[in-house]
Structure 1
């Protein structure tokens, strides 16, 4: 191993407290998980280490993109790590990423960092070419909108 991490990430200061951002993830994921006009359907969210994560994304031109994986790390109000390298029951499947979302309180705001680690440089470059930065930045904006609404209610 040469020590390269093949990581893409974005960071954003979200204008909502970490508890509201966490609730946006746990209770409102379908509202922000993919960039509009795409929409997401939460099929399963067993938010524990080894738990199933299944989200189907639907595009504006009848695209359907299922995302099946497992959670690798869950630290409430701090960190979520997931992968599509396994499906429920630890059955291997073609991996694309190890994804992560970090939440750090900064006063009444939250420092959010989201990203993806890849097995190869080629996979990372493919993800980058697919619009990683634009897409994940838009998702972070949508997450902030939902978290702000939760914080104000």
Structure 2
């Protein structure tokens, strides 16, 4: 993958959960509230229509403020890759202020482990810098840790 250090933020980690289970957690509505935002924040609703162009909508409660995040799936490779964006919402309706496209890569490492790579791709250097300043690495790192712990409880 051709990464642009000015536009792409990358978080990669080995986690103690099989990629099939991580893929399931990312693609089923019942799992998303258990890991998707750093605690104590929480997901209050989720809609997943797992197909290219299908909805990937979440609503968060962050310190009493409700934040809607609507998007669509751009690419789905079972157990290997998920790509979604907030540039469009369901029905390919353009967003007024798109923020990023996320790319999630899962690589089997054997023995119930996988390499988890999350890429946040931005439209401009300024948006990427803003995301970094908002705490991309800490926030997305916390989400990966929560996901790993949650997935281990499902095994």
Report Cα offsets for 1:9-35 as digits up to 9, x if no partner. 111111011122122222311100000
Structure 2 residue aligned with 1:118, among 118, 122, 126? 122
Two-structure CA RMSD over aligned residues (Å): 1.4
1:132 aligns with 2:133: no
The answer for the alignment partner of 1:63 in structure 2 is 65
Q: Which residue of 2 aligns with 1:104?
A: 107
What is the aligned partner in structure 2 of residue 148 from structure 1?
A: 152
Distance 1:140 1:40 in 2: 15
Q: Who is 1:20 aligned against?
A: 21
Matched, 1:91 2:63: no
3-state SS, counterpart of residue 142 of structure 1? helix
Q: Distance in 2 between matches of 1:91 and 1:42?
A: 20
Alpha-carbon distance in structure 1 between the residues aligned to 2:53 and 2:103: 15
Structure 1 segments unaligned to the other structure (5+ residues): none
Secondary structure of the structure 2 residue equivalent to 1:99: strand
The runs of at least 4 aligned residues of structure 1 exceeding 6 Å deviation read none
Q: Secondary structure at the match of 2:22?
A: helix
Distance in 2 of aligned mates of 1:56 and 1:100: 20
Q: Which of residues 48, 54, 57 is equivalent to 1:54?
A: 57
For normalisation by structure 2, the TM-score amounts to: 0.90
Name the CA distance, whole Å, in 1 between partners of 2:11 and 2:76: 20
Following superposition, the deviation at residue 68 of structure 1 comes to 0.3
Partner of 2:76: 74
State the partner residue of 1:7.
8
What is the SS of the residue equivalent to 2:71? strand
